[in-house]
Amino acid sequence: MDNKNKITVKDLNLYYGDHQALSNVALEIQEHQITALIGPSGCGKSTFLRTLNRMNDLIEGVRVEGQVLLDGKDIYGPDVDVVQLRKRVGMVFQRPNPFPMSVYDNVAYGPRIHGLKNKRRLDEIVEASLRAAALWDEVGDRLFRSALGLSGGQQQRLCIARLLAVEPEVVLMDEPTSALDPISTLRIEELLQELKNKYTIVIVTHNMQQAARVSDVTAFFLNGEIVEVGKTDQLFTKPRDKRTEDYITGRFG
C-alpha cells in the first residue's frame, strides 16, 4: 500500500448545532484504493462522507473544524469552488435517484451542465459511461426511454454512470447496494473493482461481508470517532481493538 494519499483528513470536528457528530477524525484515503467506512447506525459515517465533498454545507447549522486535503489542498479553504469540488468528488446515494428523464439525458446531464453541447461528443460520453458502469448491454437499445422504468439495480448503475460522465477523481458511495437484490449487489461490487483502477472510492456499508469483499482499507467509526483503521484483510481477521471485534462479529451492545 504505497499509493499516494488522495485525501487526507486532519483533526476533523463537525457539529450539528450543539451536537458534535464527528470528533477529531483523522484518515488518509489512498488513491486507487477502496476505503470502506463501517460502524453502527448514527456513528457519523454519512456525516463524514459528506464532509469529503462539502455536502454538509447544504445543511442548516452545520459547523466544520479541521482540514480535508484533496491532493494536498484544503477543500474548506477560502478560494475553493464548491461546484468544481463536487465534480471532482462525486457521490452515489443509498436509494438510486435517477432524474425523471431519459437514460441518455441522465448521463448527459453533468457534461451539459458543465457546458458541453457537441452531440457526437455527448454520445461518446454517454456510451463510455454506461459501459464503465456495466449497464450498456442492458440499456444501449433503449437510451431514450425513461430512466424510471429501469430496475433498482439498473437505476443504481445509471447513477454511477451519471457520476462517471463528469469524470470525477473520487467516488463517494453511501450504502449504494442496501436497496438492491444480491445479484445487483454483486454486479456493483464487481464494478467497484474495475472502477478503482481509475478512481479513488470511499464506500459506507452496513454489510460486513461487503466491506470485507470489496475494500482495501476499512475504517471503523463509533460515536463520531474512528476507533480503528487498517488493511481490510487484517481488520477482518485480526482486529486490534476489542470494540472493532465486538462490532464486526455482532457482539455489540
Partner 1 sequence: MSYRRNFDVELAELKQDILRMASLVEQSIYKAMEALLKQDPLMAKDVITGDDVVDRLRYEVESNCIRLIATQQPIARDLRVIVTGIKILINLERMGDHAVDIARAAMCVCGRMPAKALEKIPEMARRVQLMVKEGLDAYVHGDVEKARVMCAMDDEVDEIYNLTFQSLISYMEQNPHSIPCVVYLLLVTRYLERLADRATNIGEDVIYLVTGEWQELN
Ligand X SMILES: Nc1ncnc2c1ncn2[C@@H]1O[C@H](COP(=O)(O)OP(=O)(O)OP(=O)(O)O)[C@@H](O)[C@H]1O
Residues that bind ligand X (CB under 6 A): 16, 19, 21, 39, 41-47, 59
- Between the two ends of the chain, the Cα-to-Cα distance in Å is 34
**Which entry of Mg ion, ligand X, partner 1, none binds 59, CB below 5 to 8 A by partner kind?**
ligand X
Smaller CB distance to ligand X: residue 68 or 147?
68
**Which entry of partner 1, ligand X, Mg ion, none binds 180, CB below 5 to 8 A by partner kind?**
none
Contact 218, 201 (CB under 8 A): no
In the complex, minimum distance from the CB of residue 212 to partner 1, in angstroms, rounded to a whole number: 7
> Which residues of the shown chain bind partner 1 in the complex (CB under 8 A)?
208-209, 212, 236-239, 245, 248-253
Smaller CB distance to Mg ion: residue 51 or 129?
51
Smaller CB distance to ligand X: residue 90 or 224?
224
In the complex, minimum distance from the CB of residue 238 to partner 1, in angstroms, rounded to a whole number: 3
In the complex, minimum distance from the CB of residue 46 to Mg ion, in angstroms, rounded to a whole number: 3
Q: Is 217 exposed, middle or buried (CB count within 10 Å of its CB: 0-12, 13-18, 19+)?
A: buried
Q: What is the DSSP letter of 218?
A: E
Cell of 194: 474495475
> Which residues of the shown chain bind Mg ion in the complex (CB under 5 A)?
46
- Taking CA atoms, 245 is separated from 38, 131, 249, 250, in Å, by 12, 39, 6, 8
In the complex, minimum distance from the CB of residue 218 to partner 1, in angstroms, rounded to a whole number: 11
Smaller CB distance to ligand X: residue 91 or 139?
91
Smaller CB distance to partner 1: residue 130 or 212?
212
Radius of gyration of the CA atoms of the chain, in A: 18
Cell of 24: 477529531
Q: Compute the distance between CA of residue 153 and CA of residue 159 in angstroms, rounded to an integer.
A: 10
Give the neighbor-by-neighbor strand order of the sheet with 73-74: 19-30, 5-16, 62-70, 73-74
**Which entry of partner 1, Mg ion, ligand X, none binds 236, CB below 5 to 8 A by partner kind?**
partner 1
